[in-house]
Amino acid sequence: MATKMTMPQLGESVTEGTISRWLVGPGDTVQKYEPIAEVLTDKVSAEIPSSYTGTIEQLLVDENETVAVGVDICTIVEEASSEAEESNKEIKTEQKPNPPAKEQTKAEPSQKSRYSPAVVRLAQEHGLDLTTISGSGRGGRITRKDVEAYIAGNHTPEPQQPPAQAKQQEPVRSTPSQAIAAHDQEIPVTGVRKAIAENMVKSKMEVPHAWTMVEVDVTNLVKLRDKKKAAFKEQEGISLTYFPFFMKACVEALKEFPEINAQWNGTTIVRKKDINLSLAVATEDALYVPVIHQADELTIKGLAKKADELAKKARTGKLTGADMQGGTFTLNNTGSFGSILSQPIINSPQAAILSVESIVKRPVVRETEEGDVIAIRHMVNLCLSLDHRVLDGLVCGRFLASMKRRLEQMNEDSTSIY
Protein backbone atom coordinates (compact mmCIF):
# COMPACT_ATOMS: atom_id res chain seq x y z
CA MET A 1 0.00 0.00 0.00
CA ALA A 2 1.31 3.44 -0.89
CA THR A 3 2.19 5.89 1.88
CA LYS A 4 1.52 9.60 1.50
CA MET A 5 4.20 12.24 2.06
CA THR A 6 3.10 15.74 3.04
CA MET A 7 4.58 19.22 2.64
CA PRO A 8 6.84 19.66 5.71
CA GLN A 9 7.08 22.84 7.77
CA LEU A 10 10.45 24.37 6.92
CA GLY A 11 10.35 27.11 9.54
CA GLU A 12 8.44 28.19 12.61
CA SER A 13 6.32 30.75 10.74
CA VAL A 14 6.21 28.99 7.35
CA THR A 15 2.68 27.99 6.32
CA GLU A 16 3.19 26.94 2.69
CA GLY A 17 5.82 25.98 0.16
CA THR A 18 6.31 25.88 -3.60
CA ILE A 19 7.63 22.76 -5.32
CA SER A 20 10.19 24.40 -7.61
CA ARG A 21 11.55 21.12 -8.99
CA TRP A 22 10.90 17.42 -8.56
CA LEU A 23 14.11 15.40 -8.29
CA VAL A 24 12.27 12.10 -8.81
CA GLY A 25 9.41 10.74 -10.90
CA PRO A 26 6.89 7.91 -10.74
CA GLY A 27 8.67 4.55 -10.72
CA ASP A 28 11.92 5.90 -9.27
CA THR A 29 13.40 4.09 -6.28
CA VAL A 30 14.41 6.30 -3.36
CA GLN A 31 16.20 5.76 -0.09
CA LYS A 32 15.06 7.24 3.21
CA TYR A 33 16.43 10.79 3.63
CA GLU A 34 17.29 11.04 -0.09
CA PRO A 35 16.20 14.43 -1.53
CA ILE A 36 13.09 14.13 -3.69
CA ALA A 37 12.14 17.77 -4.36
CA GLU A 38 13.37 21.34 -4.16
CA VAL A 39 11.03 23.67 -2.26
CA LEU A 40 10.87 27.45 -1.98
CA THR A 41 9.20 29.38 0.83
CA ASP A 42 9.24 33.04 1.84
CA LYS A 43 11.97 32.09 4.34
CA VAL A 44 14.24 29.55 2.70
CA SER A 45 15.11 27.39 -0.30
CA ALA A 46 15.55 23.75 0.69
CA GLU A 47 15.38 20.12 -0.40
CA ILE A 48 12.71 17.77 0.93
CA PRO A 49 14.11 14.38 1.97
CA SER A 50 12.14 11.18 1.52
CA SER A 51 10.61 9.90 4.73
CA TYR A 52 10.69 6.29 3.46
CA THR A 53 12.67 3.81 1.39
CA GLY A 54 10.63 2.62 -1.56
CA THR A 55 9.28 3.49 -5.00
CA ILE A 56 7.63 6.76 -6.02
CA GLU A 57 4.07 5.91 -7.04
CA GLN A 58 2.56 9.31 -7.85
CA LEU A 59 3.45 13.01 -7.72
CA LEU A 60 0.40 14.86 -6.40
CA VAL A 61 1.66 18.43 -6.85
CA ASP A 62 2.88 20.10 -10.05
CA GLU A 63 6.16 21.99 -10.26
CA ASN A 64 5.76 25.69 -9.33
CA GLU A 65 2.55 24.84 -7.45
CA THR A 66 2.20 26.28 -3.95
CA VAL A 67 0.56 24.14 -1.27
CA ALA A 68 -0.01 24.49 2.45
CA VAL A 69 2.05 22.69 5.09
CA GLY A 70 0.55 19.23 5.71
CA VAL A 71 -0.91 18.80 2.19
CA ASP A 72 -0.09 15.49 0.44
CA ILE A 73 2.61 15.99 -2.22
CA CYS A 74 3.41 12.43 -3.34
CA THR A 75 2.84 8.75 -2.60
CA ILE A 76 5.56 6.16 -2.00
CA VAL A 77 5.28 2.37 -1.99
CA GLU A 78 7.46 1.42 0.94
CA GLU A 79 10.05 -1.27 0.32
CA ALA A 80 9.20 -3.11 3.51
CA SER A 81 5.56 -3.45 2.53
CA SER A 82 6.05 -4.65 -1.07
CA GLU A 83 5.87 -8.39 -0.23
CA ALA A 84 2.77 -7.90 1.86
CA GLU A 85 1.15 -6.04 -1.00
CA GLU A 86 1.96 -8.83 -3.45
CA SER A 87 0.44 -11.49 -1.18
CA ASN A 88 -2.73 -9.48 -0.77
CA LYS A 89 -3.00 -8.45 -4.41
CA GLU A 90 -6.44 -9.98 -4.98
CA ILE A 91 -7.91 -8.39 -1.84
CA LYS A 92 -6.49 -5.01 -2.82
CA THR A 93 -7.87 -5.35 -6.33
CA GLU A 94 -11.35 -5.89 -4.94
CA GLN A 95 -11.13 -3.05 -2.44
CA LYS A 96 -9.28 -0.46 -4.49
CA PRO A 97 -12.08 0.95 -6.72
CA ASN A 98 -14.32 2.22 -3.90
CA PRO A 99 -12.01 4.44 -1.78
CA PRO A 100 -10.45 6.32 -4.76
CA ALA A 101 -13.88 6.92 -6.23
CA LYS A 102 -15.10 8.32 -2.91
CA GLU A 103 -12.00 10.45 -2.52
CA GLN A 104 -12.30 11.74 -6.04
CA THR A 105 -15.92 12.72 -5.50
CA LYS A 106 -14.95 14.63 -2.39
CA ALA A 107 -11.97 16.42 -3.95
CA GLU A 108 -13.51 17.26 -7.32
CA PRO A 109 -15.54 20.36 -6.41
CA SER A 110 -12.67 22.12 -4.62
CA GLN A 111 -9.86 21.22 -7.03
CA LYS A 112 -11.41 21.56 -10.48
CA SER A 113 -12.38 25.19 -9.95
CA ARG A 114 -8.93 26.19 -8.66
CA TYR A 115 -7.03 27.79 -11.54
CA SER A 116 -3.41 28.88 -11.46
CA PRO A 117 -2.51 32.32 -12.93
CA ALA A 118 -0.86 30.61 -15.92
CA VAL A 119 -4.06 28.68 -16.67
CA VAL A 120 -6.21 31.81 -16.36
CA ARG A 121 -3.88 33.77 -18.65
CA LEU A 122 -3.93 31.11 -21.37
CA ALA A 123 -7.68 30.84 -21.18
CA GLN A 124 -8.14 34.59 -21.56
CA GLU A 125 -5.67 34.88 -24.42
CA HIS A 126 -7.48 32.16 -26.38
CA GLY A 127 -11.02 32.96 -25.30
CA LEU A 128 -11.56 29.62 -23.61
CA ASP A 129 -14.23 28.54 -21.15
CA LEU A 130 -12.32 26.61 -18.49
CA THR A 131 -15.44 24.73 -17.44
CA THR A 132 -15.40 22.90 -20.78
CA ILE A 133 -11.85 21.55 -20.33
CA SER A 134 -11.08 18.27 -18.58
CA GLY A 135 -8.36 18.42 -15.95
CA SER A 136 -5.65 15.81 -15.48
CA GLY A 137 -4.35 17.22 -12.21
CA ARG A 138 -5.15 16.04 -8.73
CA GLY A 139 -8.87 16.06 -8.05
CA GLY A 140 -9.56 16.99 -11.68
CA ARG A 141 -7.64 20.25 -11.43
CA ILE A 142 -6.91 21.88 -14.81
CA THR A 143 -3.18 22.32 -15.42
CA ARG A 144 -1.39 24.47 -17.96
CA LYS A 145 -0.63 21.34 -20.00
CA ASP A 146 -4.36 20.58 -20.17
CA VAL A 147 -5.07 24.02 -21.63
CA GLU A 148 -2.17 23.79 -24.08
CA ALA A 149 -3.37 20.37 -25.20
CA TYR A 150 -6.89 21.75 -25.66
CA ILE A 151 -5.53 24.62 -27.77
CA ALA A 152 -3.33 22.28 -29.81
CA GLY A 153 -6.40 20.14 -30.55
CA ASN A 154 -8.07 23.11 -32.29
CA HIS A 155 -11.13 22.98 -30.03
CA THR A 156 -13.43 25.93 -30.53
CA PRO A 157 -15.39 27.26 -27.54
CA GLU A 158 -19.01 28.25 -27.80
CA PRO A 159 -19.29 31.95 -28.81
CA GLN A 160 -21.37 33.17 -25.84
CA GLN A 161 -19.07 31.80 -23.13
CA PRO A 162 -15.64 33.48 -23.56
CA PRO A 163 -16.70 37.10 -22.85
CA ALA A 164 -18.40 36.17 -19.56
CA GLN A 165 -15.50 33.94 -18.49
CA ALA A 166 -12.87 36.53 -19.41
CA LYS A 167 -14.75 39.25 -17.56
CA GLN A 168 -15.04 37.06 -14.49
CA GLN A 169 -11.31 36.20 -14.41
CA GLU A 170 -9.95 39.64 -15.42
CA PRO A 171 -9.01 40.78 -11.86
CA VAL A 172 -6.42 37.98 -11.71
CA ARG A 173 -4.30 39.72 -14.37
CA SER A 174 -2.15 42.69 -13.42
CA THR A 175 -1.96 43.90 -17.04
CA PRO A 176 -4.35 43.44 -19.98
CA SER A 177 -3.49 40.69 -22.45
CA GLN A 178 -3.31 43.15 -25.38
CA ALA A 179 -0.31 44.83 -23.68
CA ILE A 180 1.82 41.74 -24.43
CA ALA A 181 3.36 41.92 -27.90
CA ALA A 182 4.43 38.89 -29.91
CA HIS A 183 8.14 39.56 -29.30
CA ASP A 184 7.74 40.14 -25.54
CA GLN A 185 8.98 37.57 -23.05
CA GLU A 186 6.75 36.40 -20.20
CA ILE A 187 8.65 35.07 -17.18
CA PRO A 188 6.72 32.83 -14.76
CA VAL A 189 6.55 34.11 -11.19
CA THR A 190 8.17 31.32 -9.18
CA GLY A 191 8.26 30.67 -5.44
CA VAL A 192 10.90 33.12 -4.15
CA ARG A 193 9.81 36.01 -6.40
CA LYS A 194 6.18 35.38 -5.46
CA ALA A 195 7.06 35.41 -1.76
CA ILE A 196 9.05 38.64 -2.15
CA ALA A 197 6.16 40.28 -4.00
CA GLU A 198 3.60 39.24 -1.40
CA ASN A 199 5.75 40.35 1.55
CA MET A 200 6.62 43.71 0.00
CA VAL A 201 3.01 44.49 -0.91
CA LYS A 202 1.86 43.47 2.57
CA SER A 203 4.50 45.70 4.19
CA LYS A 204 3.63 48.74 2.06
CA MET A 205 -0.11 48.22 2.54
CA GLU A 206 -0.04 47.64 6.31
CA VAL A 207 2.94 49.67 7.55
CA PRO A 208 2.91 53.50 7.51
CA HIS A 209 6.40 54.11 6.15
CA ALA A 210 8.39 57.23 7.00
CA TRP A 211 11.93 57.96 5.78
CA THR A 212 14.96 59.93 6.92
CA MET A 213 18.64 60.21 5.98
CA VAL A 214 21.98 61.49 7.27
CA GLU A 215 25.32 61.89 5.50
CA VAL A 216 28.49 60.72 7.21
CA ASP A 217 32.15 61.60 6.67
CA VAL A 218 33.93 58.22 6.69
CA THR A 219 37.33 59.41 5.46
CA ASN A 220 39.15 58.03 8.52
CA LEU A 221 37.26 54.74 8.23
CA VAL A 222 38.35 54.40 4.59
CA LYS A 223 41.98 54.94 5.61
CA LEU A 224 41.64 52.36 8.42
CA ARG A 225 40.17 49.72 6.13
CA ASP A 226 42.74 50.37 3.38
CA LYS A 227 45.55 49.86 5.90
CA LYS A 228 44.13 46.63 7.36
CA LYS A 229 42.57 44.84 4.37
CA ALA A 230 45.69 43.07 3.03
CA ALA A 231 46.67 41.55 6.38
CA PHE A 232 43.04 40.63 7.10
CA LYS A 233 42.72 38.82 3.77
CA GLU A 234 45.92 36.87 4.43
CA GLN A 235 44.96 35.90 7.99
CA GLU A 236 41.22 35.25 7.61
CA GLY A 237 40.89 34.18 3.97
CA ILE A 238 38.07 36.64 3.22
CA SER A 239 38.01 40.26 2.10
CA LEU A 240 37.58 43.03 4.64
CA THR A 241 34.80 45.18 3.17
CA TYR A 242 33.36 48.38 4.61
CA PHE A 243 30.10 46.70 5.58
CA PRO A 244 31.25 45.07 8.88
CA PHE A 245 32.26 48.52 10.17
CA PHE A 246 28.74 49.79 9.48
CA MET A 247 27.28 46.66 11.09
CA LYS A 248 29.34 47.30 14.23
CA ALA A 249 28.24 50.94 14.44
CA CYS A 250 24.64 49.85 13.86
CA VAL A 251 24.46 47.25 16.64
CA GLU A 252 26.14 49.62 19.10
CA ALA A 253 23.58 52.32 18.24
CA LEU A 254 20.78 49.78 18.67
CA LYS A 255 22.06 49.04 22.17
CA GLU A 256 22.00 52.76 22.89
CA PHE A 257 18.48 53.16 21.46
CA PRO A 258 16.59 49.88 22.07
CA GLU A 259 13.37 51.57 20.91
CA ILE A 260 14.55 50.97 17.34
CA ASN A 261 15.07 47.23 17.95
CA ALA A 262 11.32 46.60 18.18
CA GLN A 263 8.28 45.14 16.45
CA TRP A 264 4.64 46.09 16.03
CA ASN A 265 2.36 43.49 17.62
CA GLY A 266 -1.14 44.83 17.06
CA THR A 267 -2.07 46.07 20.54
CA THR A 268 1.50 46.23 21.89
CA ILE A 269 5.01 47.18 20.82
CA VAL A 270 7.53 44.43 21.48
CA ARG A 271 11.01 45.71 22.33
CA LYS A 272 13.40 42.87 21.51
CA LYS A 273 16.16 42.04 23.96
CA ASP A 274 18.41 40.25 21.46
CA ILE A 275 19.95 42.22 18.61
CA ASN A 276 19.61 39.90 15.62
CA LEU A 277 20.78 41.67 12.48
CA SER A 278 18.99 40.75 9.24
CA LEU A 279 21.12 41.22 6.12
CA ALA A 280 19.62 41.70 2.66
CA VAL A 281 21.52 39.36 0.29
CA ALA A 282 20.75 39.53 -3.42
CA THR A 283 21.26 36.65 -5.86
CA GLU A 284 20.76 36.76 -9.63
CA ASP A 285 16.99 36.32 -9.39
CA ALA A 286 15.97 36.66 -5.74
CA LEU A 287 16.52 38.42 -2.43
CA TYR A 288 17.13 36.64 0.87
CA VAL A 289 17.35 38.11 4.38
CA PRO A 290 19.46 35.79 6.58
CA VAL A 291 20.13 36.73 10.19
CA ILE A 292 23.22 37.22 12.36
CA HIS A 293 21.99 36.31 15.85
CA GLN A 294 23.35 38.21 18.88
CA ALA A 295 25.23 40.48 16.48
CA ASP A 296 26.13 42.86 19.29
CA GLU A 297 28.38 40.20 20.82
CA LEU A 298 30.62 39.98 17.72
CA THR A 299 33.73 41.94 16.77
CA ILE A 300 34.19 43.52 13.34
CA LYS A 301 36.07 40.38 12.34
CA GLY A 302 33.25 38.17 13.65
CA LEU A 303 30.61 40.18 11.81
CA ALA A 304 32.65 40.03 8.59
CA LYS A 305 33.05 36.24 8.74
CA LYS A 306 29.40 35.63 9.61
CA ALA A 307 28.15 37.92 6.84
CA ASP A 308 30.45 36.21 4.33
CA GLU A 309 29.21 32.77 5.44
CA LEU A 310 25.53 33.71 5.07
CA ALA A 311 26.08 35.39 1.70
CA LYS A 312 27.77 32.26 0.33
CA LYS A 313 24.96 30.04 1.64
CA ALA A 314 22.35 32.30 0.04
CA ARG A 315 24.07 32.24 -3.35
CA THR A 316 24.47 28.46 -3.31
CA GLY A 317 20.92 27.74 -2.11
CA LYS A 318 22.06 26.33 1.25
CA LEU A 319 20.29 28.66 3.69
CA THR A 320 18.28 26.85 6.34
CA GLY A 321 15.14 27.90 8.19
CA ALA A 322 17.25 28.72 11.25
CA ASP A 323 19.39 31.09 9.16
CA MET A 324 16.31 33.14 8.24
CA GLN A 325 14.48 33.42 11.56
CA GLY A 326 14.50 35.84 14.46
CA GLY A 327 15.71 39.06 12.82
CA THR A 328 15.02 42.26 14.79
CA PHE A 329 16.53 44.96 12.52
CA THR A 330 17.55 44.88 8.85
CA LEU A 331 20.70 46.35 7.31
CA ASN A 332 20.85 46.69 3.53
CA ASN A 333 24.15 47.18 1.65
CA THR A 334 22.81 49.06 -1.37
CA GLY A 335 26.15 50.78 -1.77
CA SER A 336 27.62 47.53 -3.05
CA PHE A 337 26.05 48.19 -6.45
CA GLY A 338 26.65 51.93 -6.58
CA SER A 339 23.43 53.33 -5.09
CA ILE A 340 23.76 56.69 -3.31
CA LEU A 341 20.12 57.11 -2.19
CA SER A 342 17.28 54.66 -1.56
CA GLN A 343 14.02 54.20 0.33
CA PRO A 344 13.97 50.56 1.49
CA ILE A 345 10.74 48.74 2.31
CA ILE A 346 10.53 47.61 5.94
CA ASN A 347 11.03 43.92 6.65
CA SER A 348 7.78 43.62 8.64
CA PRO A 349 7.16 43.08 11.57
CA GLN A 350 10.48 44.81 12.29
CA ALA A 351 10.19 48.53 13.02
CA ALA A 352 12.95 49.82 10.74
CA ILE A 353 15.43 49.07 7.96
CA LEU A 354 18.68 50.92 7.19
CA SER A 355 20.37 51.18 3.79
CA VAL A 356 24.11 51.88 3.67
CA GLU A 357 24.77 53.67 0.39
CA SER A 358 27.92 53.91 -1.70
CA ILE A 359 30.95 55.76 -0.31
CA VAL A 360 31.84 58.58 -2.73
CA LYS A 361 34.40 61.39 -2.77
CA ARG A 362 32.78 64.82 -2.58
CA PRO A 363 33.89 68.40 -1.88
CA VAL A 364 32.82 69.25 1.68
CA VAL A 365 33.07 72.47 3.69
CA ARG A 366 35.25 71.87 6.77
CA GLU A 367 35.78 74.17 9.74
CA THR A 368 39.40 74.90 10.66
CA GLU A 369 41.15 77.42 12.92
CA GLU A 370 41.81 79.53 9.83
CA GLY A 371 38.15 79.42 8.82
CA ASP A 372 36.01 77.33 6.47
CA VAL A 373 37.82 75.38 3.75
CA ILE A 374 36.67 73.06 1.00
CA ALA A 375 38.14 69.56 1.28
CA ILE A 376 37.70 66.31 -0.64
CA ARG A 377 36.18 63.76 1.77
CA HIS A 378 34.75 60.25 1.59
CA MET A 379 31.01 60.63 2.24
CA VAL A 380 28.19 58.10 2.65
CA ASN A 381 24.42 58.38 3.05
CA LEU A 382 22.56 56.31 5.66
CA CYS A 383 18.87 55.94 4.69
CA LEU A 384 16.37 54.78 7.32
CA SER A 385 12.78 53.65 6.68
CA LEU A 386 10.69 53.41 9.84
CA ASP A 387 7.30 52.11 10.94
CA HIS A 388 5.54 55.26 12.16
CA ARG A 389 3.27 53.19 14.41
CA VAL A 390 6.32 52.21 16.46
CA LEU A 391 8.83 55.01 15.92
CA ASP A 392 8.90 58.78 15.57
CA GLY A 393 11.41 61.12 14.00
CA LEU A 394 13.06 62.17 17.25
CA VAL A 395 14.35 58.77 18.36
CA CYS A 396 15.25 57.82 14.78
CA GLY A 397 17.20 61.06 14.37
CA ARG A 398 19.10 60.32 17.57
CA PHE A 399 19.80 56.76 16.42
CA LEU A 400 21.25 57.98 13.10
CA ALA A 401 23.26 60.67 14.91
CA SER A 402 24.74 57.94 17.11
CA MET A 403 25.73 55.89 14.08
CA LYS A 404 27.21 58.98 12.42
CA ARG A 405 29.30 59.80 15.49
CA ARG A 406 30.58 56.23 15.84
CA LEU A 407 31.52 55.94 12.17
CA GLU A 408 33.26 59.30 12.03
CA GLN A 409 35.31 58.39 15.11
CA MET A 410 36.55 55.09 13.67
CA ASN A 411 40.29 55.16 13.08
CA GLU A 412 43.37 53.05 13.76
CA ASP A 413 43.73 54.29 17.34
CA SER A 414 40.09 53.92 18.41
CA THR A 415 38.86 50.88 16.49
CA SER A 416 39.77 47.24 16.99
CA ILE A 417 38.90 44.83 14.19
CA TYR A 418 39.62 41.80 16.35
What distance in Å separates the CA atoms of residue 292 and residue 289, rounded to the nearest whole number? Answer: 10
Catalytic residue among 28, 155, 226, 388: 388
388 is catalytic: yes
Q: Find the Cα–Cα–Cα–Cα dihedral 143, 149, 150, 151, rounded to 10°.
A: 110
Nearest alpha-carbon partner for 415 in 216, 252, 236: 252
Which residues, at least 6 apart from 387, have a Cβ–Cβ distance to it below 8 Å? Answer: 207, 208, 209, 264, 346, 348, 350, 351, 352
- Secondary structure (DSSP) of 392-409: -HHHHHHHHHHHHHHHHT
Nearest alpha-carbon partner for 243 in 295, 196, 320: 295
Long-range Cβ contacts of 123-126 (<8 Å, 24+ apart): 123/147, 123/165, 123/166, 123/169, 124/166, 124/169, 124/170, 124/173, 124/177, 125/177, 126/151
Task: Decide: helix, strand or coil at residue 201.
Answer: helix
Question: Is-contact 291 264, C-beta < 8 A?
Answer: no
Catalytic residue among 126, 296, 392, 413: 392
What distance in Å separates the CA atoms of residue 105 and residue 117, rounded to the nearest whole number? Answer: 25
What distance in Å separates the CA atoms of residue 142 and residue 167, rounded to the nearest whole number? Answer: 19
What distance in Å separates the CA atoms of residue 201 and residue 337, rounded to the nearest whole number? Answer: 24
Active centre residues (catalytic) = 388, 392
